[in-house]
Amino acid sequence: PSQQQIDVTLLATSPHTSRVAVTTKAPKGWTAAPAHATATAASDGLPTQLNDRLRITVPAGTAAGTYTVRVTAKLPGAPAVEK
């Protein structure tokens, strides 16, 4: 297997301190860690930045190509953002 690290930056603005739920979905057979995480956005009405690092494990024998790993962030009271 091969492991890659991906840095993720979330920018959020909330009228108060909020919990942000982050989920990661990798192709079948792959591992994404953390798959689920929460972070505290201490925004108080100002933009705030949250940083995290994902570890993606690709199974041995995976054909070369382009694959999608989806990261979704959800702040209470706001629509989810997926990239």
Confidence of residue 33 (pLDDT cuts 50, 70, 90): very high
User: Is there a domain that residue 67 lies in?
Assistant: no
User: Is there a domain that residue 30 lies in?
Assistant: yes
Q: What are phi and psi of 51, to 5 degrees?
A: -120, 145
User: How many structural domains is the chain composed of?
Assistant: 1
User: Is there a domain that residue 83 lies in?
Assistant: no
User: Is there a domain that residue 41 lies in?
Assistant: yes
Residue 14: give the domain boundaries: 2-61
List pLDDT tens digits, range 48-81: 999 999 999 999 999 999 999 999 999 988 899 9
User: Is there a domain that residue 77 lies in?
Assistant: no
Q: How distant, in Å, are the alpha carbons of 42, 55, 77, 81 from that of 22?
A: 16, 14, 15, 10
